[in-house]
Amino acid sequence: MDPRRTARTVSDPKVRQVGFFTPAPPERSVSDPPRFQDPIQPPSPSPTQVNDHSPSGNSLSPVMIPPAHHHSDNFLRTALQATSPTKAFSYSAKTVTIPPENEDVASSFSPGRKVVSAKSPSSFPGVKASSVPASELTTVSVVNLPPGISEKAGGASVEVQNDRPVSAKTLKEKTSKAERRALQEAQRAAKAAAKAEGTKASSAASKVVTSANTKPSKAAKSSSQKNDGSQVAASEKKGGDRAPEKDRKKDAPHPRMQYDDKSRVEKAKKRAVVKQTEARNRVELFRHLPQYEHGTQLPDLETKFFELDPMHPAVYKVGLQYLSGDIRGGNARCIAMFQAFKEAIKDYSTPPEKTLIRDLTARISSYVSFLIECRPLSISMGNAIKFLKNRIAKLPLALSESEAKSTLMLDIDRFINEKIILSEKVIVKHAVTKIRDGDVLLTYGASSVVEMILLHAHELGKHFHVVVVDSRPKLEGQLLLRRLVRKGLSCTYTHVNAVSCIMQDVTRVFLGASSVLSNGTVYSRVGTACVAMVAHAFHVPVLVCCEAYKFHERVQLDSICFNELGNPDAISKVQGRKEINYLDGLVNQENLQLLNLIYDATPSDYVSMIITDYGMIPPTSVPVIVREYRRDHLWS
């Protein structure tokens, strides 16, 4: 096994393009980027992979999830279409025996452990239908080997390709750590086999899958982390204990940076849809985050528009919008993504010999990985994708294709409505009760929720003054300022440096968030932490307004372990001020590094209250909401 494993590792570096990866063990190319190889390739590799896997698979007990699982898991994680890789994986050993039980696999990992397990046997066979970012879905995606292989060859080439390399990789990794997992799997498989349900096996498989997924998928990061499945998978993976963190980390920074292995990086680059050149002069501390040279991708992508058949044009369009920065803000990105997915689902038709669920999930995963390449997913988007894959997985098999599609579209609409639009209204309703006449409210950056709150309070006739604090390089506050002044609010505009001068006059601070983590840490635009800290020092209450779908189980201690790096050139150039050009010509100097963080983490002690659609809660109640309400509402 070992020789094979190592061989595998070498051949298939998992290159994950998006997202943040922590340095995964070399075997586990955690961040295997989705590989978009041409369709022709998959067939050839698959056999090799299959070969690779089968021995490993064979080495494992039939019940055991062969590395393919891992691969598939990884793929899932990376939101790659796991189809191909999974297919590649020759779970032949055991897969053949296990009847595909895809349908039953529950979308959510945690509750659906069993369901997933049911599916996992099928998945084990090696076909991971879709590497759902949500680990839950990963299990679903695990498909039978035999069909997988064929599908791989024929199916979504793009996805397949991506998956394949990843899957191969995951397989490798799996086998490498496989001993432990193999044992677990064997036990589980035995149990499952005993029950003849394959539920357990599927769970094991799902675990594997999830672990695999967790590794590669960045997109799935948030979702996978949330999934128990991911945790399961994590455990299955080698270094099970560190798997959960690894998964998270995988979702986090782009592992590419972490790898010193140039070959891996090169391979990843070759497979990338979006050709991104790595930025030079990366900051040491942030080597675990992907950093690209911006501006080089758009023209490339545009030329490829007609080449990427599997990519739906709506998704492509959204990806381009992300890349160019036209769409900003968690809610806007989420809604745009979902609209694009709706279009894609509408136009989707199940290819022959495939099941709708698996294939659709695989396709969605490929879309997601493409979006990740354009811009790393925000945590809320990860949650949303998890939801979607969950719903796809839960589709009853009896539905016809059109019915299934319409159901899905309805579900998406419902999600957008309930979780985003309606919840914003509820938040606004709660928040305006906190605004009194004569207040001076401070806000930072441009948050859609806070804007709605202010406008609504103004409509209600309250008299207050708004201080808009802005920061470089995005200067989003100016957009908010313009909209507020148009509506007739009296505003003050200032830069974040002056916040301690202005804070004396402020009575309340309203902040938006990209996400709120389990320990109450607010993860939002960089600079929020500064504002919250200064407000705390001046004893001004800080209210964070955040929809509940943005909550996450993760815990983050500081802003460095997980973040997003923006365009460093935005720092050296000051928009609108031509005279500030001190750094012209210096950008490529060795000693100079430009760091453009997008997010930062605000400790919970600075936050007085979080206003969500479930009410107004203290930061310590976030894990409660995550635990209680998520399971019931979102993943049910």
Partner 1 sequence: MPDTQALVNDFLNKLKKRKIEGSQATAKQTAELLRSVISQTRMPYTNQAAALIHSVKAVGERLIAANPVELAVGNVVRRVLHIVREEDLSLTTAAMAGLNLSAESDDEDDTDRDNHPALSAAAIAAASRSTLRPPSLQTLLEDVPDSAAVPHTSSSGGDSEGKSKSADKSSRSRKLKHDVIEAVNELIQDISTCHELIAEQAVEHIHQNEVILTLGSSRTVLEFLCAAKEKKRSFRVFVAEGAPRYQGHLLAKELVTRGLQTTLITDSAVFAMISRVNMVIVGAHAVMANGGVIAPVGLNMVALAAQKHAVPFVVLAGSHKLCPLYPHHPEVLLNELRSPSELLDFGEFSDCLDFGSGIGAPLLHVVNPTFDYVPPKLRRA
Q: Tell me which of 471, 514, 521, 524 binds partner 1, using CB under 8 A.
A: 471
Query: Does 495 interact with partner 1 (rule: CB under 8 A)?
Result: yes
Quote the CA–CA distance of 234 and 236 in Å, as a whole number. 5
Quote the CA–CA distance of 412 and 404 in Å, as a whole number. 12
Query: Does 6 interact with partner 1 (rule: CB under 8 A)?
Result: no
Total Cβ atoms within 10 A of residue 235 = 20
Q: Which among 378-386, 412-420, 472-480, 613-621 is the span making contact with partner 1, rule CB under 8 A?
A: 472-480
Query: Does 571 interact with partner 1 (rule: CB under 8 A)?
Result: yes
Q: Nearest distance from residue 462's CB to partner 1, in Å?
A: 16
Q: Which of 229, 285, 222, 287 is nearest to 248 (CA)?
A: 222
Contacts of 30 (CB under 8 A, 6+ apart): 14, 16, 21, 22, 24, 74, 77, 214, 215, 216, 246, 249, 250, 255
Tokens of 548: 């509940």
Query: Does 527 interact with partner 1 (rule: CB under 8 A)?
Result: yes
Quote the CA–CA distance of 478 and 500 in Å, as a whole number. 20
Task: Write the binding mask 254 to 293 for partner 1: x where contact by CB under 8 A, - elsewhere.
Answer: -----------------------------x-x--------
Query: Does 455 interact with partner 1 (rule: CB under 8 A)?
Result: no
Q: Nearest distance from residue 533's CB to partner 1, in Å?
A: 6
Query: Does 594 interact with partner 1 (rule: CB under 8 A)?
Result: yes
Query: Does 555 interact with partner 1 (rule: CB under 8 A)?
Result: no
Which residue's CB is nearer to partner 1, number 63 or number 594? Answer: 594
Residue type, 35: R
Applying CB under 8 A, the site for partner 1 has a residue count of 58
Q: Tell me which of 426, 452, 533, 609 binds partner 1, using CB under 8 A.
A: 533
Cα 277 vs. chain centroid, distance in angstroms?
Answer: 22
Query: Does 601 interact with partner 1 (rule: CB under 8 A)?
Result: yes
Angle at 524 between CA 22 and CA 419, to 5 degrees: 105
What is the SS3 assignment for 476?
coil
Contacts of 628 (CB under 8 A, 6+ apart): none
Q: Nearest distance from residue 523's CB to partner 1, in Å?
A: 11
Q: Tell me which of 298, 335, 583, 617 binds partner 1, using CB under 8 A.
A: 583
Query: Does 558 interact with partner 1 (rule: CB under 8 A)?
Result: yes
Q: Tell me which of 409, 432, 452, 502 binds partner 1, using CB under 8 A.
A: 502
Dihedral in degrees, nearest 10, Cα atoms 618, 620, 625, 631: 170
Task: Write the binding mask 164 to 193 for partner 1: x where contact by CB under 8 A, - elsewhere.
Answer: ------------------------------
Q: Nearest distance from residue 248's CB to partner 1, in Å?
A: 19
Query: Does 228 interact with partner 1 (rule: CB under 8 A)?
Result: no
Q: Kindly list the distances between the CA atom of residue 550 and the CA atoms of 166, 213, 401, 612, in Å, as whole numbers in the listed order.
A: 29, 21, 31, 10
Contacts 24+ apart (CB under 8 A), 96-99: 96/125, 96/144, 96/145, 96/146, 97/62, 97/121, 98/122, 98/124, 98/125, 98/144, 98/198, 98/201, 98/202, 99/198
Query: Does 537 interact with partner 1 (rule: CB under 8 A)?
Result: yes
Query: Does 515 interact with partner 1 (rule: CB under 8 A)?
Result: no
Beta-bridged to residue 312, according to DSSP, are: none
Quote the CA–CA distance of 80 and 166 in Å, as a whole number. 8
Q: Which among 298-306, 368-376, 429-437, 591-599 is the span making contact with partner 1, rule CB under 8 A?
A: 591-599
Q: Tell me which of 262, 539, 577, 578 binds partner 1, using CB under 8 A.
A: 577
Burial of 516-554, coded b for 16+ CB within 10 Å and e otherwise, reads bbbbbbbbbbbbbbbbbbbbbeeebebbbbbbbbbbbbb
Q: Nearest distance from residue 262's CB to partner 1, in Å?
A: 23
Which residue's CB is nearer to partner 1, number 448 or number 563? Answer: 563
Q: Tell me which of 595, 609, 616, 617 binds partner 1, using CB under 8 A.
A: 595
Query: Does 470 interact with partner 1 (rule: CB under 8 A)?
Result: yes
Query: Does 597 interact with partner 1 (rule: CB under 8 A)?
Result: yes
Q: What is the residue-wise DSSP string for 177-214?
A: HHHHHHHHHHHHHHHHHHHTS-HHHHHHHHHHHHHHHH
Query: Does 162 interact with partner 1 (rule: CB under 8 A)?
Result: no
Q: Tell me which of 504, 539, 578, 632 binds partner 1, using CB under 8 A.
A: 504
Q: Tell me which of 529, 540, 607, 622 binds partner 1, using CB under 8 A.
A: 529
Q: Nearest distance from residue 4's CB to partner 1, in Å?
A: 41
Q: Is 616 exposed, middle or buried (0-12, 13-18, 19+ CB in 10 A)?
A: middle
Query: Does 211 interact with partner 1 (rule: CB under 8 A)?
Result: no
Q: Kindly list the distances between the CA atom of residue 500 and the CA atoms of 285, 476, 535, 536, in Å, as whole numbers in the listed order.
A: 28, 20, 8, 11
Quote the CA–CA distance of 597 and 471 in Å, as a whole number. 12
Q: Which among 139-147, 245-253, 507-515, 525-533 is the span making contact with partner 1, rule CB under 8 A?
A: 525-533
The Cα diameter of the chain in Å comes to 75
Cα 157 vs. chain centroid, distance in angstroms?
Answer: 22
3 state SS for 81-136? CCHHHHHHCCCHHHHCCCCCCCCCCCCCCCCCHHHHHHHHHHHCCCEECCCCCCHH
Which residue's CB is nearer to partner 1, number 126 or number 445? Answer: 445
Query: Does 462 interact with partner 1 (rule: CB under 8 A)?
Result: no
Q: Tell me which of 304, 472, 631, 633 binds partner 1, using CB under 8 A.
A: 472
Q: Nearest distance from residue 299's CB to partner 1, in Å?
A: 27
Q: Which among 54-62, 178-186, 344-352, 520-528 is the span making contact with partner 1, rule CB under 8 A?
A: 520-528
Q: Tell me which of 574, 609, 616, 617 binds partner 1, using CB under 8 A.
A: 574
Q: Nearest distance from residue 580's CB to partner 1, in Å?
A: 5
Q: Nearest distance from residue 444's CB to partner 1, in Å?
A: 9
Q: The dihedral of CA 423, 429, 435, 440: what is its sign?
A: positive
Query: Does 556 interact with partner 1 (rule: CB under 8 A)?
Result: no
Which residue's CB is nearer to partner 1, number 298 or number 595? Answer: 595
Which residue ranges make up the site for partner 1 (CB under 8 A)? 283, 285, 470-473, 478, 481-482, 485-486, 488-502, 504, 525-527, 529-530, 533-534, 537, 558-560, 563, 571-572, 574, 576-577, 580, 582-583, 586, 589, 591-597, 600-601
